[in-house]
Amino acid sequence: MEAEASTFETCEMLATFLASTPLLSDSWKLCSRANATAPQGFVANQVEDVCYVAFSGVQAVTGWDPGCRDFVPLDTSDNGLFSAWRRQGEEEEPVMVHAGFLHMFLSTFHTASFQTQIFEIMKRSKSVVFTGHSIGAPIASLSALWFLSHFQSISSSPSVICITFGSPLFGNKSLSRAILQERWGGNFWHVVARHDIVPRLLFAPLTPHLHFLLQLWHLCMPSPYLIEPAVQLHEHQTSELFRFVSAHVEATSREEGAVRPLFCPFGNFMFCTNEGAVCVDNETVVVKLLHVMFVLGSAGSSIIDHFNYGDYVGKVSLQFLSTSGFMEGDLPESSYEAGVELALQSSEIPNHVIHNDSLFQFQKSKPTAAMRLRVAVIQNVVSGLVKDCLKMAKRMGRTPNLNSAGVAIALSKITPLRAQIEWYKASCDESDDQMGYYDSFKQRGASKRGFKINMNRIKLAQFWDDLIGMLETDQLPHDFHKRAKYVNASQFYKLLVEPLDIAEYYRSGMHRVKGHYIKHGREKRYEIFDKWWGAKKVGDEESNKRSTFASLTQDSCFWARLEEAREWLEIVRTEGDTRKLCMLWENIDKFVQYARRMVEEKEVSIDVLARNSSYSLWIEELKELRLHLQQFPPSFPTLLDGRVVP
């Protein structure tokens, strides 16, 4: 038996808990009402201090083909409506969404009725539930995303949850990652019927098929009493569509194909069956369950299930009152295995009769013993696949947190290395040579102390590079970079150690080989730490002016900028081209203004102002050069202009 660190399997328990609340039933009732009475719109209902907003699954498709699969960046839509989702660097893939679904959301968003509803929510509600069925579901999700991103900085804003039914996928991998990084994964719950084709539809290129289905939705969804929508489809059409989608979902679940899928699930998925429900939030496991449950259905059930959410919600809502158990003697050995078995029961796999036409049709012929045996074997295989999915979800969900604990231990172990560098800086600042921290390390000799500090610098760099590698390969929680402990630790490391990296870069002459540090030598980790710190919310105490000099210079690239300014000053002495001289003096003047501001605002450490520091010596050289130019002006009158040579 597989050893588990956690003693409980929670996917079935979580689904049962959600079903025990009125959220599911109230949301579906309002969705049904929106489908029947508010085509291309939404309806709202206030239940005490909770406001439900349901978007109709009947939307206009004239002139727009959702099957085109066109992606558009979310952050550039509608004059920055989602500007908070702007990517931080060119190397990052932008958050992209389906152009058609975004267009439908924007059409609704700009209506007077929607704006009025948002105003009422902010005034009267403590919580808001955005919900929608079918193609109304992406509108609900985008509304929740907008609400979360727009009002997240307001402490008194209502809490938000989004519950969708039969929602098609509409965003890329970057959207899923961004939602996890913002810690909003728990705000989204997608209810999926076991065989519903719509949540699987956009795994395949389905332009004609999707348009055909949308026309069917228009006919069916306004009628809450519709029982057999599939009768309006020809059997060969449904069979062809089912096989086509099934093949693409299978390829995606196995990560096959030359091109990775455009669309990626996000949030929590609640898979509903006649026996209960299970909840998973790992995107890989979601895709695998979308495949396993879908192939156990049939062409007809894949259409019918899209209209059966009322039945599923009713059964699931009552399921928590019933008791699930095991036959005597079948009780699993651990609570974890018991949880897996309960989740397997809720997935309805053990008792599922396979309806796939390519296997058997019990309706047309009496099954033989061999046929029953083959069905039993297939069901055991599928049950094993589902068990593997559930265990994978547990394992993949737990591993990042375990790794995070390991990183915390590793961070505590490298703290003495950082402390030794702090002691080294203090001793340099107090040294009689008055060179300061940066210059002492840059001009160090073959001393034991200098060697040890350099090794500490290398070991700290390795720790942070390993951490970033784990984060980029999803081995750490997606919100790891927002945790104050690591944001502050990385910022302190950057301010303390990057000056040493700059000193070593220029000491070894790498600037002559690769170019100056900022553009050609700066390590990726420092750019990442800049983003982490830039995204940190600044408190009042951090925005106040300093009364004393900082313990560490607040621009970790200060010395790299000085090294460039030193080169400019050397070139000025020999440059004869007037245009180039003007540019050099402009650059020097900009650096002088930058450095003066840093000193005046006390954003530098005292080592910058040490008598024999590179900065102090450079200032003296600049004064001498300007005095020399005033006493012995060159033959270029423009150089005497105070704007160029102050």
Q: Which two tokens stand for residue 30?
A: 């309002």
Sequence-separated (6 or more) residues with CB below 8 Å from residue 455? none
C-alpha distance from residue 400 to each of 278, 397, 478, 543 (Å): 22, 7, 9, 34
For residue 202, give the nearest of 210, 214, 194, 213 by alpha carbon: 210
**Is residue 540 among the annotated active site residues?**
no
Place of tokens 């009267």: 124
Rounded CA-CA distance 306/193 in Å is: 7
DSSP run (H or E) holding 160: strand 159-165
Residue 573 sits at the vertex; the CA angle it makes with 569 and 578, to the nearest 5 degrees, is 95
Rounded CA-CA distance 201/204 in Å is: 6
Catalytic site residue from 26, 196, 439, 607: 196
Catalytic site residue from 125, 134, 246, 298: 134
Q: Which contacts (CB < 8 Å, 24+ apart) does range 237-242 have?
A: 237/212, 238/299, 238/300, 238/302, 238/303, 239/299, 239/357, 241/197, 241/206, 241/209, 241/213, 241/299, 241/302, 242/197, 242/297, 242/298, 242/299, 242/302
Phi, psi of 413, rounded to the nearest 5 degrees: -75, -25
Rounded CA-CA distance 301/618 in Å is: 79
Sequence-separated (6 or more) residues with CB below 8 Å from residue 531? 88, 89
**Is residue 103 among the annotated active site residues?**
no
Q: Which two tokens stand for residue 144?
A: 């929740």
Residue 107's Cα: distance from chain center in Å?
A: 26
DSSP state of 186: G
Q: Which two tokens stand for residue 617?
A: 């010596």
Catalytic site residue from 195, 306, 481, 516: 306
Rounded CA-CA distance 98/159 in Å is: 26
Phi, psi of 20, rounded to the nearest 5 degrees: -80, -10
Phi, psi of 189, rounded to the nearest 5 degrees: -130, 120
**Is residue 306 among the annotated active site residues?**
yes
Q: Determine contact, residues 486/480, Cβ cutoff 8 Å.
A: yes
Sequence-separated (6 or more) residues with CB below 8 Å from residue 578? 636, 638, 639
Q: Determine contact, residues 522/557, Cβ cutoff 8 Å.
A: yes
Q: Which residues are catalytic?
A: 134, 196, 306
